């Protein structure tokens, strides 16, 4: 791991581009290919929350949240990766149908599912700031309607 990071941090020069190109796939899988682009020149000015509602024939709905476990270092890393996934769903429409289908498959119950809605809320605060964000209204990003026979 240290070797990967040391190679990634090579100074500007002719070796840096090919080394980074070779290292990008494994570092991306590990979530270690981050850059300072998040912080500068225009840092994030708000938070997003992406979640799903699983709808039932009786009109009830069950909220599906992506994992959030920040009780230790590993949990914090795990949560940060899910936060990146939520951001991808918010800004990349091509991923939403796959996410809705997966949520429908993973939601187990005796009662059938009629639809899965992926929703977004925004808040004008930093994600890890003190206190709960002041969330704005829900925005429907995607709806997957399912046949009652499924």
In angstroms, the CA 148 to CA 51 distance is 23
**What H or E segment, with its residue span, contains residue 119?**
strand 115-123
In angstroms, the CA 47 to CA 45 distance is 7
In 3-state terms, what secondary structure has residue 22? helix
Give the chain's residues under pLDDT 50: 149-150
Task: Summarize pLDDT for 45-80 with one digit per residue, the tens.
Answer: 778 889 999 999 989 999 998 876 556 566 666 677
Question: What pTM, to 2 d.p., does this model score?
Answer: 0.64
In angstroms, the CA 83 to CA 47 distance is 10
In angstroms, the CA 61 to CA 116 distance is 9
CB atoms closer than 10 angstroms to residue 26? 12
């Amino acid at each position: 791991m240290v070797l990967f990071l040391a190679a990634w941090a090579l100074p500007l020069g002719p070796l840096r581009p090919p080394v980074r190109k070779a290292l990008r796939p494994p570092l991306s899988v590990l979530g270690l290919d981050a850059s300072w682009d998040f912080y500068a020149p225009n840092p994030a000015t708000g938070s997003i929350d992406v979640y799903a509602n699983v709808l039932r024939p009786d009109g009830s709905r069950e909220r599906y949240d992506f994992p959030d476990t920040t009780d230790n270092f590993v949990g914090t890393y795990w949560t940060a990766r899910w936060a990146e996934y939520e951001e991808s769903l918010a800004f990349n429409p091509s991923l939403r149908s796959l996410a809705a289908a997966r949520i429908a498959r993973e939601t187990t119950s005796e009662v059938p599912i009629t639809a899965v809605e992926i929703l977004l809320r925004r808040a004008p605060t930093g994600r890890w700031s003190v206190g709960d964000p002041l969330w704005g209204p829900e925005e429907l990003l995607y709806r997957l309607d399912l046949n009652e026979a499924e």
